[in-house]
Amino acid sequence: MPRPRTPRGRGIRVRPPLPGDRRWGNPVAARHLRALSSPERTTRPPRGEDDVTPDLSRLRVRERRSYLARTVREAVRPARLLLVVKTALAVGLAWTIAPHMPGVTEEYPYYAPLGALVSMYPTLMGSMRSSLQTLFGLATGIGLAALIVLTVGPTWWTIPLVVGLGVLVSGTGWFGVGKEYVPMAALFVLIIGGQNADDYSLGYLAQMGVGIVIGLVVNLLFAPAPLIGSAEARVEEFRRQLAGHLHDIGSAVSESWPPETAQWADDAAALAETTADLRAALAEADESVRYNPRARRRHAGTAHIHDQLSTLDRIAHLIRDIADATADTIWERPAAMPLDPALPEPLSAACHAVADVIAEDDPASSAAHRRRAEAARAIRLLLEKVDDRTFDVRSSMGPGVLTAMHLRRILILSGERLDDEDE
């Protein structure tokens, strides 16, 4: 949830902070802000990045608790629990059916449950693909072992040789998840099969096939629900997260100077990792639709979610750029640009207004249109202040200019979401 913000009013005239102004913490901080705005500044900031960073030990504990809670929630999701039940059912059925297989295959019933286990994936497409790749890997490994059996036989040097060949072949990328079974099958045939390598190979491959078929049937009868809903919910949560980051930046530059916390900068830096996780989740959602009868009944599609994520990814890049430029100025990093003392208040107001637009659930509502108008007005006021100060101080460089440009671009990108919903 976005942190509470300082109330804002319309038409507030912005004045430069005075040396004793309490908004800026203390006179020393106010002098530091004026020093940052001066091209000839030579003094170091009175407070460094290490001084404004919260207690690192408490932050690490909080992050670990959050990670633990997130992993536990992931493990007990309904889709995951359904996979648990289906896997247990398929393994039990495979173990029950395997001893009744004809011929020598009945002597190797323990491979059927293994086949059922390897065929179980959260999506039907994933199950079919992994099953075929596993059978392909097994057949290749058995074929390599057969070459040894039919020629020199298993010896102290042929067994390592065939295992090495299996590892080499499995690295081609042809086998997918079945690559591990290439050297494994070759090793098992030579060591466990021994003199009965032909019977063992047949039983091994047949029972694995039986288990895989049972697993596919169970997965088809109890088809998993498409993951589109959960992926869309995560994308919506990411949108609210972006709004929260922009609110944090707006609060950081207006409440005190230098800001009391650096967490907002760390959170903004983690946006790229969040985007990558969302793309992986969306790819899994796409796969969950393929060959899924439940998805066909619902006429499910993910094109609109891809469009939303693409737009949010572009917004995330802009927010990260704003956060980096602001952090550079705050902690006087090598890439730092001076911040004019008249800009923090309109800059903060524009950040908050644009964040409200990003967080809007219904972009077509009257409230959303009103927030867009307020955000456009806040950006215009920021641009006017930037233009005025550019003329006064004879400098057009600074985080205020970059932030104004990026906020305007974010507002335009947020409007694309409204156009998509109208279509």
Tokens in use for 421?
């919903």
**pTM of the predicted model as reported, rounded to 2 decimal places:** 0.64
For residue 420, is pLDDT > 60?
no
End of a domain among 202, 221, 240?
Answer: 221
Helices (H), 151-196: 158-170, 181-188
Tokens in use for 77?
């999701």
DSSP per position, 291-310:
T-HHHHHHT---HHHHHHHH
Closest CA to 319 of 264, 262, 379: 264
* CA 135 – CA 85 distance, rounded (Å): 24
Number of domains in the chain: 2
Closest CA to 279 of 308, 320, 315, 299: 308
Mean pLDDT of 19-44: 38
DSSP classification of residue 365: S
* CA 109 – CA 153 distance, rounded (Å): 26
Q: Are 386 and 267 in a shared domain?
A: yes
* CA 420 – CA 112 distance, rounded (Å): 50
Mean pLDDT of 26-31: 38
Domain contains 132: yes
Q: Are 131 and 252 in a shared domain?
A: no
Q: Are 215 and 167 in a shared domain?
A: yes
Q: Are 390 and 270 in a shared domain?
A: yes
Check the CA dihedral 76-80-82-83 and report its sign: negative
Q: Are 216 and 333 in a shared domain?
A: no
Q: Are 319 and 410 in a shared domain?
A: yes
Q: Is there a contact between 222 and 292 (Cβ–Cβ < 8 Å)?
A: no
* CA 124 – CA 130 distance, rounded (Å): 10
Domain contains 415: yes
Query: Any idea which residue has 């907002």 for tokens?
Result: 264
Q: Are 205 and 263 in a shared domain?
A: no
Q: Are 310 and 192 in a shared domain?
A: no
Q: Kindly report the CATH number assigned to the domain that includes residue 291.
A: 1.20.58
Least confident of 76-90, 93-107, 335-349: 335-349
The reported pLDDT for the residue numbered 27 is 37
Helix (H, G, I), strand (E, B) or coil at 109: coil
Q: Which domain holds residue 412?
A: 230-422
Q: Are 258 and 203 in a shared domain?
A: no
DSSP classification of residue 192: I
Count of helices and strands (H, E) across the chain? 17, 0
End of a domain among 193, 221, 249?
Answer: 221
Tokens in use for 194?
């021994």
The reported pLDDT for the residue numbered 394 is 61
End of a domain among 181, 198, 221?
Answer: 221
Q: Is there a contact between 285 and 227 (Cβ–Cβ < 8 Å)?
A: yes
* CA 268 – CA 405 distance, rounded (Å): 18
Mean pLDDT of 353-357: 93
The pLDDT tens digits for 95-153 are 999 999 988 888 999 999 999 999 998 888 888 999 999 999 999 999 999 999 988 88
Domain contains 161: yes
Q: What's at 65, amino acid-wise?
A: R
Domain contains 68: no
User: What are the distances in angstroms from CA 51 to CA 48, 259, 262, 324?
Assistant: 5, 10, 9, 18
Q: What percentage of the chain reaches a pLDDT higher than 70?
A: 74
Helix (H, G, I), strand (E, B) or coil at 254: helix
| Residues with Cβ within 8 Å of residue 88, at least 6 apart in sequence | none
